[in-house]
């Protein structure tokens, strides 16, 4: 069934159309959220939120861009909101622990292992994900969409509401930053300064 027919049916409140939409795009939404947030539970939560938003605001979708682009935009926005909320909670818990209100210890998250990566690359990919997590927001989004979702510069620029050259420069900076972060990480890991 065509994308447009489904959207039109969803606008009329058709539950079957909504089910088809969820089942068609759930992997795309979940994989994107997972790549950015690096936590399976949070990615599931975000994916649910995304489809609830789709159901509620399908009438605002004008059809100027592709439906998948609109979905990517919602996913990225929701994921970044979730990250900001998490950071706020973490800061609040830290302040509480200073004043002795909350004695819970704030643990650093364990290494993230993406389930879609082959076994022999898992360890190296986990090191890369650690570095990605330290990138600035925009670089992190652009890199994840390009590398994990395999989107080209044009598609990434549409999702991020920017131009193709700015995405090129964003990805270039992201790669340079990742190289630096990985270098620091490997230096610490192998405890050496000699090159």
Partner 1 sequence: MKKLDMEKKIETALNSLDHVCRVGPGPFFYTRVQTRLARKERTIWETISAFIAQPAVAFTVICLIISMNSLVILQRESAPAITEQNGSLPADESDVDTIAFYDEENNNTDTQ
Residue 159 C-beta: closest distance to partner 1, Å = 16
Separation between Cα atoms, residue 145 and residue 130, nearest integer Å: 17
Residue 23 C-beta: closest distance to partner 1, Å = 6
Find the binding residues for partner 1 in span 64-103 (CB under 8 A): none
**Binding segment (CB under 8 A) for partner 1, from list 70-78, 90-98, 160-168, 174-182:** 174-182
Find the binding residues for partner 1 in span 121-150 (CB under 8 A): 121, 124-125, 127-128, 131, 147-149
Q: Of 62, 99, 116, 188, which lies in the binding site for partner 1, with binding defined by CB under 8 A?
A: 116
In terms of Cβ atoms closer than 10 Å to its own Cβ (0-12, 13-18, 19+), residue 179 is exposed
55 binds partner 1 (CB under 8 A): yes
- Residue appearing with tokens 């975000």: 46
Residue 188 C-beta: closest distance to partner 1, Å = 11
The torsion defined by the Cα of 45, 47, 52 and 56, in degrees rounded to 10, comes to 140
């Amino acid at each position: 069934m065509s994308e447009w027919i489904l959207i039109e049916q969803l606008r009329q409140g058709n539950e079957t159309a909504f089910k088809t939409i969820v089942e068609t795009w759930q992997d795309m939404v979940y994989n994107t959220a997972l790549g950015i947030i690096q936590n399976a539970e949070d990615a599931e939560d975000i994916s649910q939120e995304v489809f609830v938003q789709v159901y509620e605001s399908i009438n605002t979708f004008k059809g100027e861009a592709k439906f998948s682009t609109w979905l990517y935009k919602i996913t990225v926005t929701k994921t970044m909101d979730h990250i900001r909320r998490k950071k706020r909670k973490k800061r609040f818990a830290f302040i509480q622990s200073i004043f002795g209100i909350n004695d819970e210890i704030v643990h650093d998250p364990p290494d993230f292992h993406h389930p879609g990566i082959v076994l022999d690359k898992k360890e190296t990919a986990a090191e890369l994900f650690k570095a990605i997590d330290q990138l600035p927001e925009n670089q992190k989004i652009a890199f994840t969409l390009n590398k994990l979702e395999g989107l080209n510069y044009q598609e990434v620029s549409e999702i991020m509401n920017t131009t193709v050259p700015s995405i090129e420069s964003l990805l270039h900076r992201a790669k340079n930053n990742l190289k630096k972060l990985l270098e620091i990480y490997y230096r610490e890991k192998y405890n050496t300064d000699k090159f």
